Amino acid sequence: MIRASKKINNQTSVSNNACSILYIDVPEFNCNMTQIENFCTDRFNFLNEVMKLKDTLLVQKQSNTAGGGEDFNILLKRYLGSEKEEYKIKDEISHYCLRLAMCDSDDRSWFISAECAFLANRLIDVSSIISSFKGFGWSPVSQEEYKQHQDDLNYLVKKAKLDLSEVNNTHFYKLPFQDIPKLIDSKKAIIIKGEAFIFTSNFKDMIIHTFKNYLEFAMDRVKADKTRIKEEFPELIQFFKTIPRPGDGTTKPQFGNNKQIRKEDVAPLSKTSFPMCMKVMYDTLIETSKLKYEGRLEFGTFLKGIGLPYDEAANFWRMAFSKRVSNTEFDKEYLYNLRHNYGLEGKSTNYSPYSCSKIISKIPTIGLNQVHGCPYVLSLESLEQKLLELGIDDFQRIQILEATKTSPNVACTKHFNYLHPNNTFPKLINHPNQFYDQSVDYYKGLEEKKSAKQQSNKDENHPVSEK
Amino acid sequence: MMEDDIDIDFSNEISKQEESQLREYYDTLFPFDLLYDWLTINSINENEEKDKKRSFERREFSVKISKAGKSFVIRNKSFNRIEDLKEFLKGRQGNDGVYEVPERLDIGPVFSWEPSKMSTVSAQDYHPVSKELVFDIDVDDYNPIRVCCASTSLCEKCWGFLAVSADFIDNYLRECFGFQQIMYVFSGRRGLHVWVSDRSAQYLNKENRASIINHIRIEINQNQIPILRRSFDQILLPHFENHVLEDQQIFTNEKQRKYFLALLPITYKRQDRKITITPSEDIEKKLTEIQNEELTNSQIWFAVKSYLQDNNLIDHLYNIVFHYTMPRIDEPVSIGFNHLLKSPFCIHPDTKKLCIPLDINEIHKFNPNQVPTLDQLIADPKLFNKFKQMFKNHVNQMKLKYNLTIQDPMDF
């Protein structure tokens, strides 16, 4: 409360700022088509850079992001310039136009995450935005409320590893639980009678998540209105069609272009080229002859992605289950689903391999012998056990475990780097098949180097060789 | 997997006598009016009759029909009036004079358009709008930790797993989300269904539904979220110590003992004394030592518990109790809109038992083997009254809430 009243003096300026970086009021500007085209293309490229920066930062990130802020500011300056008025116009026009362009496109979710990443970089004075802008539904927690729920709220303080004695009601905000499902998933909120309480260390997440909801909602509205806009501004819609696709294949990776492998290849590959999630499932399958439904889906589509054709896959699974399941039973119980995965049954959808985000969202249930999901988001203890089993040395192991705190993808990338020393892949692992493909490329590179070396040795030995 | 994929049964064609019993049951006993109110009360905005009717028209139903030795599941059915549903359930007379009586009724979401006319609108305009928040817990998910029964059978002892699940869910939903219109239903064979009808529950999206489940996923960690911590103290630990230990012979049964030992960590570093201990091995040794002393499961448990407490393994104590008592929810059913759930007051096609509402306060005393079957109901229709009354009370409470919210618009 005290904090809020202090801000009253400069409330107008702060709230203007809040509104403009959260894009709440649609601006009125006069501008021509050329301007719009330039603005949009620039923002598009800028967002692309922001997303790349986010990836690199995650890989490099150790304890803080001090270096990242610099990089971002350079990007921002290059994109928007430093003239205040022009800056605002360009920023807003390009944002609202891209909303319109992306609302019904395949790249909509890319756009939304890019805008969220942009906002995350821009949010500096988090608490002043929270206290001055309430349009997203959050509200302060009163002293009485804080006292009443203190025991529960302490959970969040302990989780953030802060001192309980330094905390008071102004360190919390609350909002309807429906607005922040992701924070509820990860227990960064305490829910009491439908209200989610957020601790100061997660205010930034709270703003970004609600901003994301707002963008989704706003873009749905634009989408509903797009026919009218199409008629009124055909040239705008025409231009939108020419905007390039985001990223260099990061959003919709194409896998399955690998050369085919045989079922015998799976075992050696599992040692050299499988990410942890797939390795865990493979090992469990071989050891116990069991893999539950969700695991079969994740692992099966992965195998398909690395080039195991249907016939080989059928034999692979049949053998893997053979300790426990007879041939007839296999044909009855499992073959149909496998055919389904390969698009040979049902709606003939050819299931594509699961991405990391999808695998992360599938959390195995305790006690059901389920081993699917991402090992880096599950209990650290069993992960450590697994790393020990794989013979990863102490130093690397601690690094990987530490990295899970930043993000599972970073930990996975660390594991990749461990398996593939001196590799030159710059990207964060965000798909198990990317892990595999990079690994295969890596070994191919090694082979080529080796044979080139041999070749040159040969050449030295036989200087009169025809080549 | 969807429930209707598992249950397809090609062997049981329902007999003629059963058909006529089912027809009679739908004709004279099944509480259609209450079902109608229960499904539609929370859709009321302005005009009671109109809003309820519209919501009912757009509700998806699905039935299973057996014909010539094969079962079919018919989805995307919808009805203009509750009377039409009744007529439909009483079956159609085929050319051979035989009635095709649907064996069971499943309830789906309310869509943006009538499901039976879905082909008349574009795919974009046809989407689920609302659905009760539901939980489905099947006892077969407890197979690894129960010794009293196997596969789909269910007795008073293993009902305990479902009863404590209900206690936990009830407390969680009321405390954290403030939901009030919660109904517990015995599915007729092996399961417990929970239906949450509050308006705010009906309109939750998929992500919200998933977050309700993910929020209570346990972590091996001493700083447990408050709702788990409290449930542990007040619901789960007492149930584990008073019932699960003896009912499921956690230590005295060979298979159970092995299972228990596997839950313990193999090695554990004690930070305070900088030594590594081997809990799983230690306790196994201890258990072998005392094998001939004829101790009860509880006595053994208290010894194990003090070992865990003495060695700073409190988080593992949490983990063990959670493992034996936390609800094993069939998650896709709660999260997705495309999963249907069996309607209360159905007759279970395999057991012929009535699918009945349960009183949460009496849920531990419930005996699944005393639920009336179709035969018994037809012979003595009075058996039905008690359950119908319970359903009526539940619906009346919902109506009461609805009246209150109309007087106090702030509640919307």
pLDDT over 90 at B6, yes or no: no
Instruction: Name residue B214's amino acid.
Output: N
Q: Kindly report which listed range (A32-36, A42-46, A75-79) carries the lowest average pLDDT score.
A: A75-79
Residue at which a domain ends, from B325, B353, B371: B325
CATH number at residue B167: 3.90.920.10
Rounded to whole angstroms, the Cα distance separating B108 from A403 reads 43
Asked if pLDDT for residue A196 goes beyond 60, the answer is yes
Subunit contact B210:A363, Cβ cutoff 8 A: no
What beta strand segments (E) does B167-254 contain?
182-186, 191-196
CA distance B213 to B403: 31
Residue A367: band (very low, low, confident or very high) from pLDDT cuts 50, 70, 90: low
- Measure CB to CB from residue B211 to each of A185, A293, A368 and give the nearest one: A185
- Are B103 and B165 within one domain? yes
Q: Where are chain A's structural domains?
A: 2-240, 263-450
Chain A contacts of B144, Cβ < 8 Å? 367-369
- With cut-offs at 50, 70 and 90, classify the pLDDT of residue A189: very high
Give chain A positions within 8 Å (CB) of B215.
Answer: 184-185, 187, 191
Residues 155-214 of A with CB under 8 A from B: 155, 158-159, 177-178, 181-182, 184-187, 190-194
Question: What is the tens place of the pLDDT at every residue in A117-143?
Answer: 999 888 888 888 888 888 888 999 999
Which helix (H) or strand (E) segment is B108 a member of?
Answer: strand B104-111
Q: Which of A124-133, B150-159, B237-246, B346-355 has the lowest mean pLDDT?
A: A124-133
Closest chain A C-alpha to B38 CA, distance in angstroms: 23
| A217 vs B: CB within 8 A | no
Indicate the residue among B294, B325, B356 that finishes a domain: B325
Shared-domain flag, residues B48 and B144: yes
Cβ(B103)–Cβ(B114) below 8 Å:
no
Q: Are residues B243 and B355 in the same domain?
A: no
- Write the residue in B1, B215, B266 that is nearest to A185 by C-beta: B215
On chain A, the residues whose CB falls within 8 A of the CB of B205 are 178
- Half-sphere exposure of B63 toward its Cβ, with a 13 Å CA cutoff? 18
> Is residue B220 included in any domain, yes or no?
no
CA dihedral A293→A295→A296→A302, nearest 10 degrees, is 150
| B136 included as an active-site residue | yes
Same domain, yes or no: B117 and B17: yes
Last residue of a domain, one of B307, B325, B343: B325
| B383/B372 Cα distance (integer angstroms) | 7
Q: Evaluate whether residue B221 is within a structural domain.
A: no
Question: Is B57 labeled as catalytic in the residue annotation?
Answer: no
Across the interface, whether the CB atoms of A193 and B178 are under 8 A apart is answered yes
Question: In this structure, what token pair is assigned to residue B83?
Answer: 């009377």
pLDDT in tens, A314-348: 999 998 888 888 888 888 878 888 888 887 776 65
Q: From CA B340, how far away is CA B131, in angstroms rounded?
A: 10
> What is the model's pLDDT at position A467?
41
* Residue B275, both tokens: 């030594």
Q: Any CB–CB contact under 8 A between A268 and chain B?
A: no
B239 lies in the same domain as B337: no
**Taking Cα atoms as reference points, which of B8, B253, B227, B108 lies closest to residue A336?**
B8
Q: A 297-336 residues with CB below 8 A of B?
A: none
Tokens of A223: 């989408």
Pairwise CA distance, residues B10 & B27, whole Å: 27
Taking contacts as CB-CB distances below 8 angstroms, the residues of chain B near A191 are 176-177, 215, 227
Closest chain A residue by Cα to residue B332: A362
Token pair listed for A57:
């930062």
Predicted ipTM of the assembly: 0.89
Cβ pair A379:B220 closer than 8 A: yes
User: Of B19, B136, B170, B330, which is the active-site residue?
Assistant: B136
| Between B69 and B230, residue with greater pLDDT | B230
What pLDDT is recorded for position B85?
A: 96
**Please, what is the average pLDDT of chain A?**
82
Give the position of tokens 């992605």: A305
Partner residue facing B226 (CB), from A190, A193, A363? A190
pTM (2 d.p.): 0.76
The Cα of A448 is separated from the nearest Cα of chain B by a number of Å equal to 44
Given the residues B103, B138, B167, B198, the one annotated as active site: B138
Cβ–Cβ pairs < 8 A, chains A and B:
76
**A422 and chain B in contact, CB less than 8 A:** no
Q: Which residues are CB-neighbours of B76 under 8 A, at least 6 positions away?
A: B60, B62, B115, B116, B118
The residue range of the domain holding B361 is 3-214+328-411
Q: Using 50, 70 and 90 to split pLDDT, how confident is the model at B299?
A: very high
On whether any CB of chain B is under 8 Å from the CB of A288, the answer is no
- For residue B181, is pLDDT > 70? yes
Residues of B in contact with A190 (CB under 8 A): 225-226
pLDDT score of B29 more than 90: yes
Contact B213, B335 (CB under 8 A): yes
CATH fold of the domain at A2-240: Transcription Elongation Factor S-II; Chain A (1.20.930)
Give the pLDDT band of residue B410 (cuts 50, 70, 90).
Answer: very low
Out of B37, B60, B106, B170, which one is annotated catalytic? Answer: B60
Q: Which of A293, A365, A372 should we substitute to test contact with B (largest number of B Cβ atoms within 10 Å)?
A: A365
- Chain A: residue nearest B218 by CA? A366
The amino acid that residue A329 corresponds to is E
Task: Let me know if residue B219 belongs to a domain.
Answer: no
- Tell me: do B319 and B344 sit in the same domain: no
Enter the DSSP assignment of B274.
T
**A181 to B218: CB separation less than 8 angstroms, yes or no:** no
In this structure, are residues B396 and B388 in contact, taking their beta carbons and an 8 Å threshold? no
What are the structure tokens assigned to B284, written together?
């196994």
Cβ distance B211 to A381 less than 8 Å, yes or no, reads no
Q: Which residues pair with B185 in a beta bridge?
A: B193, B357
CATH 1.10.579 fits A263-450, yes or no: yes
Quote the pLDDT of residue B161. 97
d(CA A265, CA A440): 13
Domain annotation covers residue B110: yes
Candidates B136, B176, B330: best to mutate against A (most CBs of A within 10 A) is B176
Give me the number of domains chain B comprises.
2
B315 carries an active-site annotation: no
Report whether pLDDT(A95) > 50: yes
Interchain contact, A363 vs B217, CB within 8 Å: yes
Please report how many Cα atoms fall inside a 13 Å half-sphere around the Cα of residue B33, on the Cβ side: 6
Mutate to test the interface with B, among A104, A155, A360 (most CBs of B within 10 A): A155
- The closest alpha carbon to A415, from A53, A57, A59, A51, belongs to A59
Most confident listed range (A72-81, A179-188, B39-48, B165-174): B165-174
Q: Mean pLDDT over all residues of chain B?
A: 89
